[in-house]
Amino acid sequence: MLTAEDIRVTLGRKPVLHGVDIAAEPGKMTIVIGPTGSGKTTLLRALSGDVPFLGAARLHGLDIATVKPRKLAPWRGVLPQASSLSFPFTVREIVRLGIREGLPSGESGIVTAALARVDLAGFEGRMYQELSGGEQQRVQLARVLCQVWTPVLEGRARYLFLDEPVSSLDIRHQIQIMDVARNFARSGGGVLAILHDLNLTAMYADHVILLKSGHVHASGAPRDVLTNDNLSSVYDYALAVNRAPGGEAVFVLPHGAATDHAA
Amino acid sequence: MTFTEVWSVVRPKTADDGDRSALARATIVVLAAALVLTFFFSLASGASDASAWRVFLETLGFTSGALEGADRIVVYGIRFPRAVLGMLIGGALAVSGAIMQGLFRNPLADPGIVGVSAGAGLGAVSFIVLQGGALAPAAAIFGIYSIPFAAFLGGLISTLVLYRISTRQGRTSVATMLLAGIALGALAGAVTGVLVFRADDRQLRDLTFWGLGSLAGATWTKNLMAAPLILPVILALPLMARGLNALALGEAAAGHLGVEVQRFKNIAILCVAAATGASVAVSGGIGFVGIVVPHLLRLLIGPDHRFLLPASALLGAILLLFADAIARQIVAPAELPIGIVTAIAGAPFFLWILLRRRGILDL
């Protein structure tokens, strides 16, 4: 179980998070949304142990602020928004970095399986730096998947922290990667993801956290959080939440666009 | 036909499955064998001509008495400690380059180029000049290890300063690193110059070789001075590989993978300073080994530090023995400082790397 209470972060002199409470349950897709600058990435970085914070954040009882990185590593993989690489590694060599030392048997199987899961089967021999941005992002996701390969370890859930995992992907791969994350959750793991796309959020979230200026504006089931009032207020723009005819699917449109179509 | 075109034909193709570990392991075995051969040829080559085969048999105890009189003294009294020292120093230079490049996440980082060797040289020269005066108590405590330790401290300080200047929030700026390195090197050189002015004649003789680097006058004592700093670094290589690999993804990602980044960087900096300090203390500034060796090996077996680090140690040792053989023979019976040989071969190589990467480096 991942819980965070009263998380406060100050970057330089600027307070970015003012007391954020969240919980991400195993088996669920917890998705954080909010405008640019609302503190989504800072929240994820705090929970990953990258930036100092005040407040209490725990993953299975481990205090994220003080625990050694090597104790935390088996329990959560982190996919950052952007990745860099300083030397010419092959795709296989990158993905392999996710595997902890000491399990050499089946190593090659895991790498191949992880690449297949992100739709990059056969890319093992390619040079990472020669891939497109979207392909690189999927290679990094495969590496993160290797780190937490079984969603449940010793009876406890492992977590995926994903910062805009689909930002540079085309729509087919957006759906594919979101499916990978949802399958991870359905198999007992936990997922905490930041998304910009409200419609993907509506499709995939079990629990939505809506951030505004470093506060949690709303938190709960998608149908309770994704409302006209909440979204329009947080994004400071008239947004309309619609329901697809004859279905449960929810989609969000800018108000102007929605009325144009209606007219 | 340019070198690049030739290379594109002869370069080893990456296996289709992206797994270069078999190639890397084979390379390490070949390098180890080549080092043994080079070592015996190095014992045999020089003004007094003993055959490598006879030296080999004699050394391993298969024959006795095959080497006589003067040959025996030259081979075992002079060349043997020199060849051992050459291997130690070559390995240390190449490994400190490889570690530094991994730490700075940059293939152009090298103790010789960014002023760390100059800092180590300043440490050593300070001690030589001041050992009769201000540093006399230290000389009494550390004995023969005083100069290597002083060089280690000098190297450590310059590495720390360089790292603080060129790295911000886990990102190293290449341009800042190179420019800060020039300034640090110049500063260390200037202070060294001041100290040299204060040196007496005997000290001046000791100091003359710092500038260019030389294995001349290698003795078992010098091996004893260098080994306690170099061997622990070599033994620590397997422990550093995973951290350096993870660091290639950036500091945050390395932390997510379980690396204790700050502690790991401290250890890496200590290793660089120890290996550089030891080699500068006993052989002066021998340049470019640390940049040429890891770069060649990355082209061949890739950047995986599990293999790159040991392979660098082996190839560095081989290249330095070769350079020493050239230095001893090209102007025989005199000898060139080995630093001249490595600079003549290494500096154009460095320029070639710059040329290939200047687009990426944004200099």
Nearest CA in chain A to B260: A69
User: pLDDT category, B73, cuts 50, 70, 90?
Assistant: confident
Residues B159-163, mean pLDDT to the nearest whole number? 90
What residue segments make up the domains of chain A, in order of their start? Answer: 2-226, 227-263
What's the domain range around B102? 20-361
Q: How many CB pairs (< 8 A) connect A and B?
A: 91
B111 belongs to a structural domain? yes
Contacts of B248 in chain A (CB under 8 A): 85-87, 89
CATH assignment of the domain containing B187: 1.10.3470.10
Q: Which of A70, A85, A147 sits opposite B248 (nearest CB)?
A: A85
Find the range with the poorest average confidence among A185-189, B49-53, B190-194. Answer: B49-53
Report whether pLDDT(B118) > 60: yes
Instruction: Report pLDDT digits (tens) over A85-101.
Output: 889 999 999 999 998 76
Residue B340 resides in a domain: yes
Q: Coil, strand, or helix at residue A124?
A: coil
Look at B107 and A69 and tell me if their CB atoms are within 8 Å.
no
Would you state the pLDDT for residue B11? 58
At B15 the pLDDT is 56
Q: What is the mean pLDDT of chain A?
A: 90
Share the mean pLDDT of chain B.
Answer: 85
Residue range B75-84, pLDDT digits in tens: 778 889 999 9
Q: Phi/psi at B12 (nearest 5 deg)?
A: -70, 130
- Strands A76-79 and A159-163, sheet pairing: parallel
For residue B116, tell me if it sits in a domain: yes
* Confidence grade of residue B244 (pLDDT, cut at 50, 70, 90): very high
B245 lies within 8 A of chain A by CB: yes
Q: Which of B217-231, B298-312, B344-358 has the lowest mean pLDDT?
A: B344-358
Q: In this complex, which of B245, B248, B252 lies closest to A80 when CB atoms are compared?
A: B252
Three-state helix/strand/coil letters over chain B: CCHHHHHHHHCCCCCCCCCCHHHHHHHHHHHHHHHHHHHHHHHHCCCCCCCHHHHHHHHCCCCCCCCCHHHHHHHHHHHHHHHHHHHHHHHHHHHHHHHHHHHHCCCCCCCCCCCHHHHHHHHHHHHHHHCCCCCHHHHHHHHHHHHHHHHHHHHHHHHHHHHHHHEECCEECHHHHHHHHHHHHHHHHHHHHHHHHHCCHHHHHHHCCCCCCCCCCCCHHHHHHHHHHHHHHHHHHHHHHHHHHHHCCCHHHHHHCCCCHHHHHHHHHHHHHHHHHHHHHHHCCCCCHHHHHHHHHHHHHCCCHHHHHHHHHHHHHHHHHHHHHHHHHCCCCCCCCHHHHHHHHHHHHHHHHHHHHHHHHCC
| ipTM of the complex model | 0.92
Exposure letters B290-299 (e unless 16+ CB within 10 A, then b): bbbbbbbbbe
The residue in chain B having the minimum alpha-carbon distance to the alpha carbon of residue A51 is B252
- Chain A contact present for B353, CB below 8 A: no
The two tokens of residue B169 are: 């929030």
Domain A2-226 has CATH 3.40.50.720: no
pLDDT-based confidence at residue B63 (cuts at 50, 70, 90):
low
* Residue B65 lies inside a defined structural domain of this protein: yes
Q: What is the reported pTM? A: 0.89
Query: Residue B103 pLDDT more than 60?
Result: yes
Examine residue B4 and state whether it is found in any structural domain, yes or no: no
Contact with chain A for residue B206, Cβ under 8 A: no
Q: Is residue A237 pLDDT above 80, yes or no?
A: yes
pLDDT value at residue B362: 47
Looking at the 3D structure of chain B, how many domains does it have?
A: 1
> How confident is the model over A131-163, as pLDDT tens digits?
999 999 999 999 999 999 999 999 999 999 999
